Amino acid sequence: MGVENVEEADNSSSVSDSIEGRLSNFKITSSNCYLISDVTIFKYCLGGLIDKALLLKEVATSASEEELFRLANEVSLYSGCSHHRRQIVIAKRLIEEGTKIWNSISQNNRLIQWEKVIFEIEEQFMRITCSSTRSLTEQDFELLRRIAGCREHMGQENFEKMWRWLYPVMFYISK
């Protein structure tokens, strides 16, 4: 019986080693697959508009589409508000396209003329909404200028304010 007890003891330690090994592998795998922490999710849920925008910009630039879908679903679940889901899901494209457009129209200038922005915005509106007939009106452009907070010239910060508002509108019109 003493031999059986030793074998049982050996067997149980190898089982616990095996479980610990699987758990540590799970932790490694899960951390590699999903980099957005619970703290980030709750910061987003509890943050104000500016906090959410900054956090989303930071997360969206480094997260995969899959991670953004998971973040969107968890924020929707924990906040009880499903309207956050679409904002989070389109964030990566919003940032990437906005950066590309800003770089194209600014050509490394700090400020650009509003008139130059109008043509690019009109072109992007037609492209994203998939419409060849619906265009932006003078009233639309005045509203966009007020949203951006600029006058005759626009900086990148002004452009980003306007783009964060306009892109979701264009995205929803296209659906």
Summarised one tens digit per residue, pLDDT across range 102-132 is 999 999 899 999 999 999 999 999 998 988 8
The tens digit of pLDDT for each residue in 44-78 reads: 999 988 888 889 889 998 899 899 999 999 999 99
Number of CB atoms found within 10 A of residue 153's CB:
15
The radius of gyration computed from the CA coordinates of the chain, to the nearest angstrom, equals 25
Cα torsion angle, 136, 138, 142, 145, sign: positive
Domain extent, residue 149, equals 109-175
Residue 60 belongs to a domain: no
Position 19 scores a pLDDT of 38
Q: Is 159 exposed, middle or buried (0-12, 13-18, 19+ CB in 10 A)?
A: buried
Number of CB atoms found within 10 A of residue 87's CB:
16
Q: What is the count of structural domains for the chain? A: 1
Residue 31 belongs to a domain: no
pTM as predicted: 0.68
Residue 48 belongs to a domain: no
CATH value at residue 131: 1.10.238.10
Nearest 5 degrees, angle CA 46-CA 40-CA 83? 55
